[in-house]
Amino acid sequence: MHTMNRRPSTRYPLPLRVLHWGLALLLVLQLTLGFAAEYWTTRKTSDVLLALHFRLGILILGLMLLRLTLRLASSVPPAAEHLSRWRRCLQGSAHSLLYLLVLALPLSGHVIWVWMGADRTLFAGIQVPALFVPPDDETGRALAWYVHVYGAWLLSGLVVLHVVAAWHESLQEHAFVARRMGFGRSGLDQSETK
């Protein structure tokens, strides 16, 4: 009996790639909505934008939980061998912080939203559960606000660094990140054509 000896793919599975790019677009939109509501619009427009911001945040939280579940259940390409150990460590830390922030921001936003007594309806009468009753002491609300606002600025900075690092990587001869995320030919494809 003949078995084919194939090397593992150098690309992430398609569902993870779709979620990556979908979440990337939604995060840019979400950050723009949040900053516009906070700094660039009138109070009336701000209220409308914040309602959209809340709904989009819940969608992002759900998609991020799905992405984490798929990531843990999927076989993914090994880390980049061409990077030094400290760069791999830095890359891993940055990705972990991105994941943490993308989860923490919707959760802190939910806390703020519940504390405000705002409408938690998503669509067609479906409501996001409150999960808690706000106490008289507003320390929790203030803490959630700090996490949400400063986390949004930190996430914005990390997204910019992530894009710059990915762009720089894509210009390199090995273009490791570009191949992993679905651009160009995978390492397996290239080795089979030689």
* Contact (Cβ atoms closer than 8 angstroms) between residue 23 and residue 63: yes
What string of pLDDT tens digits covers the 194 residues of the chain?
444 445 556 678 888 889 999 999 999 999 999 999 888 888 889 889 999 999 999 999 999 999 999 988 887 766 666 667 777 787 778 888 999 999 999 999 999 999 988 888 888 888 888 888 888 888 888 999 999 999 999 999 998 888 887 777 666 655 555 555 555 554 444 443 33
Question: What's this model's pTM, rounded to 2 decimal places?
Answer: 0.76
Tell me how far apart the terminal alpha carbons of the chain are, to the nearest angstrom.
Answer: 26
**Burial profile 133-144: b = 16 or more Cβ within 10 angstroms, e = fewer:** eeeeeeeebeeb
Domains of the chain, earliest start first: 14-193 (1.20.950.20)
